[in-house]
Protein backbone atom coordinates (compact mmCIF):
# COMPACT_ATOMS: atom_id res chain seq x y z
CA UNK A 1 0.00 0.00 0.00
CA UNK A 2 1.05 3.63 -0.39
CA UNK A 3 1.90 4.05 3.28
CA UNK A 4 4.18 1.04 3.37
CA UNK A 5 6.08 2.18 0.32
CA UNK A 6 6.39 5.82 1.27
CA UNK A 7 8.06 6.04 4.67
CA UNK A 8 11.77 6.64 4.24
CA UNK A 9 14.68 6.07 6.60
CA UNK A 10 14.77 7.92 9.91
CA UNK A 11 18.53 8.34 9.75
CA UNK A 12 20.96 9.47 7.07
CA UNK A 13 23.92 7.35 8.11
CA UNK A 14 24.16 3.59 8.48
CA UNK A 15 20.53 2.72 7.71
CA UNK A 16 19.34 -0.64 9.04
CA UNK A 17 19.37 -3.64 6.76
CA UNK A 18 15.59 -3.93 6.84
CA UNK A 19 14.05 -1.83 4.03
CA UNK A 20 12.18 1.23 5.32
CA UNK A 21 8.97 0.16 3.58
CA UNK A 22 8.98 -3.16 5.42
CA UNK A 23 9.66 -1.43 8.74
CA UNK A 24 6.68 0.84 8.20
CA UNK A 25 4.45 -2.01 7.00
CA UNK A 26 5.34 -4.00 10.12
CA UNK A 27 4.66 -0.95 12.34
CA UNK A 28 1.33 -0.30 10.64
CA UNK A 29 0.28 -3.90 11.19
CA UNK A 30 1.49 -3.93 14.80
CA UNK A 31 -0.35 -0.74 15.65
CA UNK A 32 -3.49 -2.05 13.97
CA UNK A 33 -3.31 -5.28 15.95
CA UNK A 34 -2.74 -3.35 19.16
CA UNK A 35 -5.77 -1.12 18.50
CA UNK A 36 -7.93 -4.14 17.73
CA UNK A 37 -7.00 -5.78 21.02
CA UNK A 38 -6.63 -2.69 23.20
CA UNK A 39 -8.98 -0.05 21.84
CA UNK A 40 -10.34 1.00 25.27
CA UNK A 41 -6.78 1.54 26.52
CA UNK A 42 -5.81 3.57 23.45
CA UNK A 43 -9.04 5.56 23.58
CA UNK A 44 -8.39 6.39 27.22
CA UNK A 45 -4.86 7.53 26.34
CA UNK A 46 -6.13 9.87 23.61
CA UNK A 47 -9.05 11.14 25.66
CA UNK A 48 -6.70 12.10 28.48
CA UNK A 49 -4.31 14.03 26.25
CA UNK A 50 -4.49 17.77 26.48
CA UNK A 51 -6.62 18.69 23.48
CA UNK A 52 -4.25 21.58 22.75
CA UNK A 53 -1.66 18.97 21.70
CA UNK A 54 -3.88 17.88 18.81
CA UNK A 55 -5.18 21.26 17.70
CA UNK A 56 -2.18 22.73 15.79
CA UNK A 57 -2.23 20.32 12.84
CA UNK A 58 -6.05 20.49 12.70
CA UNK A 59 -5.91 24.29 12.73
CA UNK A 60 -3.08 24.33 10.17
CA UNK A 61 -5.16 22.24 7.81
CA UNK A 62 -8.19 24.48 8.16
CA UNK A 63 -6.08 27.60 7.69
CA UNK A 64 -4.52 26.23 4.52
CA UNK A 65 -7.88 25.07 3.20
CA UNK A 66 -9.49 28.36 4.27
CA UNK A 67 -12.35 26.77 6.18
CA UNK A 68 -13.62 27.35 9.71
CA UNK A 69 -12.07 25.25 12.47
CA UNK A 70 -15.38 23.62 13.39
CA UNK A 71 -15.95 22.24 9.89
CA UNK A 72 -15.31 18.53 9.35
CA UNK A 73 -12.85 17.47 6.66
CA UNK A 74 -14.34 15.75 3.62
CA UNK A 75 -12.12 13.32 1.74
CA UNK A 76 -10.63 15.90 -0.62
CA UNK A 77 -9.95 18.30 2.24
CA UNK A 78 -8.52 15.55 4.44
CA UNK A 79 -6.03 14.51 1.77
CA UNK A 80 -5.39 18.18 1.02
CA UNK A 81 -4.34 18.59 4.64
CA UNK A 82 -1.57 16.04 4.16
CA UNK A 83 -0.54 17.63 0.88
CA UNK A 84 -0.33 21.06 2.52
CA UNK A 85 1.78 19.73 5.40
CA UNK A 86 4.11 18.07 2.89
CA UNK A 87 4.46 21.29 0.91
CA UNK A 88 5.36 23.37 3.97
CA UNK A 89 7.40 20.93 6.05
CA UNK A 90 8.69 18.32 3.62
CA UNK A 91 12.30 19.36 4.18
CA UNK A 92 12.16 18.69 7.92
CA UNK A 93 11.94 14.91 7.68
CA UNK A 94 12.42 12.38 4.93
CA UNK A 95 8.89 11.02 5.34
CA UNK A 96 7.02 14.34 5.46
CA UNK A 97 6.82 14.86 1.66
CA UNK A 98 4.59 11.77 1.54
CA UNK A 99 1.88 12.99 3.90
CA UNK A 100 -0.54 13.39 1.01
CA UNK A 101 -0.17 9.68 0.31
CA UNK A 102 -0.40 8.92 4.03
CA UNK A 103 -3.68 10.77 4.40
CA UNK A 104 -5.06 9.25 1.21
CA UNK A 105 -4.35 5.77 2.57
CA UNK A 106 -5.74 6.61 6.01
CA UNK A 107 -9.02 8.07 4.79
CA UNK A 108 -11.24 5.03 5.32
CA UNK A 109 -9.81 4.43 8.78
CA UNK A 110 -10.10 8.10 9.70
CA UNK A 111 -13.75 8.37 8.68
CA UNK A 112 -14.82 5.81 11.25
CA UNK A 113 -18.55 6.47 11.06
CA UNK A 114 -18.42 6.50 7.23
CA UNK A 115 -20.42 9.70 6.92
CA UNK A 116 -18.02 11.17 4.36
CA UNK A 117 -16.17 13.56 6.68
CA UNK A 118 -13.64 13.51 9.53
CA UNK A 119 -14.85 15.55 12.48
CA UNK A 120 -12.79 16.79 15.44
CA UNK A 121 -13.22 13.62 17.51
CA UNK A 122 -12.23 11.41 14.60
CA UNK A 123 -9.27 13.69 13.95
CA UNK A 124 -7.97 13.32 17.50
CA UNK A 125 -7.81 9.54 17.20
CA UNK A 126 -6.46 9.68 13.65
CA UNK A 127 -3.55 11.96 14.53
CA UNK A 128 -2.81 9.78 17.57
CA UNK A 129 -2.80 6.66 15.38
CA UNK A 130 -0.41 8.34 12.94
CA UNK A 131 1.84 9.29 15.85
CA UNK A 132 1.70 5.70 17.15
CA UNK A 133 2.82 4.42 13.75
CA UNK A 134 5.68 6.92 13.69
CA UNK A 135 6.59 5.80 17.21
CA UNK A 136 6.67 2.16 16.17
CA UNK A 137 8.85 2.97 13.17
CA UNK A 138 11.16 5.04 15.37
CA UNK A 139 11.60 2.05 17.65
CA UNK A 140 12.23 -0.17 14.65
CA UNK A 141 15.20 1.96 13.73
CA UNK A 142 16.44 3.16 17.11
CA UNK A 143 15.72 0.59 19.85
CA UNK A 144 19.04 -1.20 19.43
CA UNK A 145 18.70 -3.40 22.51
CA UNK A 146 15.00 -4.13 21.95
CA UNK A 147 13.93 -3.23 25.48
CA UNK A 148 10.91 -1.18 24.34
CA UNK A 149 12.31 2.11 25.62
CA UNK A 150 14.64 4.63 23.98
CA UNK A 151 17.48 6.12 25.95
CA UNK A 152 19.27 9.32 25.03
CA UNK A 153 21.96 7.52 23.07
CA UNK A 154 19.49 5.54 21.00
CA UNK A 155 17.40 8.62 20.44
CA UNK A 156 20.53 10.36 19.15
CA UNK A 157 20.00 8.52 15.87
CA UNK A 158 16.80 10.47 15.41
CA UNK A 159 18.39 13.68 16.69
CA UNK A 160 21.20 13.43 14.13
CA UNK A 161 18.60 13.34 11.39
CA UNK A 162 16.65 16.30 12.73
CA UNK A 163 19.23 18.69 14.17
CA UNK A 164 20.44 20.28 10.94
CA UNK A 165 17.01 21.44 9.89
CA UNK A 166 16.04 22.47 13.39
CA UNK A 167 18.73 25.14 13.10
CA UNK A 168 16.37 26.91 10.72
CA UNK A 169 13.74 27.41 13.44
CA UNK A 170 15.76 27.22 16.66
CA UNK A 171 18.97 28.97 17.78
CA UNK A 172 19.73 25.96 20.00
CA UNK A 173 18.55 22.71 18.34
CA UNK A 174 19.96 20.51 21.10
CA UNK A 175 18.00 22.38 23.76
CA UNK A 176 14.89 22.32 21.60
CA UNK A 177 15.09 18.56 21.24
CA UNK A 178 15.71 18.20 24.97
CA UNK A 179 12.63 20.32 25.68
CA UNK A 180 10.52 18.12 23.40
CA UNK A 181 11.91 15.07 25.18
CA UNK A 182 10.90 16.43 28.57
CA UNK A 183 7.48 17.60 27.37
CA UNK A 184 6.76 14.07 26.16
CA UNK A 185 7.33 12.38 29.51
CA UNK A 186 4.33 10.58 30.96
CA UNK A 187 6.05 8.94 33.94
CA UNK A 188 8.83 9.64 36.43
CA UNK A 189 11.59 8.26 34.20
CA UNK A 190 12.94 11.26 32.31
CA UNK A 191 15.92 9.26 31.01
CA UNK A 192 13.93 7.24 28.48
CA UNK A 193 10.93 7.38 26.15
CA UNK A 194 8.46 4.52 25.91
CA UNK A 195 6.29 4.03 22.85
CA UNK A 196 3.46 6.25 24.07
CA UNK A 197 5.91 8.99 24.96
CA UNK A 198 7.59 8.68 21.58
CA UNK A 199 4.20 9.06 19.90
CA UNK A 200 3.66 12.18 21.98
CA UNK A 201 7.11 13.42 20.98
CA UNK A 202 6.10 13.21 17.31
CA UNK A 203 2.94 15.20 18.03
CA UNK A 204 4.98 17.86 19.83
CA UNK A 205 7.47 17.93 16.97
CA UNK A 206 4.77 18.49 14.36
CA UNK A 207 3.36 21.27 16.54
CA UNK A 208 6.80 22.85 16.86
CA UNK A 209 7.15 23.06 13.10
CA UNK A 210 3.73 24.68 12.74
CA UNK A 211 4.19 27.12 15.60
CA UNK A 212 7.81 28.16 14.96
CA UNK A 213 8.56 27.85 11.25
pLDDT digits (tens, 9 = 90+) for 155-195: 877 777 666 678 888 888 888 889 999 999 999 999 999 99
pLDDT recorded at residue 160:
73
How many Å apart are CA 114 and CA 118, to the nearest integer? Answer: 9
pLDDT recorded at residue 18:
55
Q: What is the pLDDT of residues 77-113, one digit of tens each?
A: 999 999 999 999 888 877 788 888 889 888 988 999 9
User: What predicted TM-score, i.e. pTM, was given to this entire model?
Assistant: 0.87
| DSSP labels, 19-55 | -HHHHHHHHHHHHHHHHHHHHHHHHHHHHTS-GGGTH
Buried b vs exposed e over 187-198: b needs ≥16 C-beta within 10 Å?
eeeeebbbbbbb
pLDDT recorded at residue 155:
84
pLDDT recorded at residue 42:
94
Q: State residue 54 phi and psi, 5-degree precision.
A: -105, 0
**Mean pLDDT of all residues in 126-141:** 90
Could you tell me the residue range of the domain that residue 144 belongs to?
Answer: 2-212
Closest CA to 137 of 201, 187, 80: 201
pLDDT recorded at residue 19:
53
Q: What is the pLDDT of residues 6-64, one digit of tens each?
A: 333 333 333 344 555 566 667 778 898 999 999 999 999 999 999 999 999 999 999 99
Number of domains in the chain: 1
Amino acid sequence: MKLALSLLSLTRANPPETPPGKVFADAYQQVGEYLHENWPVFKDFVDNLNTSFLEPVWDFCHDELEIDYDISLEQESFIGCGVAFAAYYGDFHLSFPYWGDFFDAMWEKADWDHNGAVDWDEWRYTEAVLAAIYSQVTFGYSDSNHDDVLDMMEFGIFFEQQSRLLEEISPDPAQTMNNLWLESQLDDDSETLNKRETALFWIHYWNLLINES
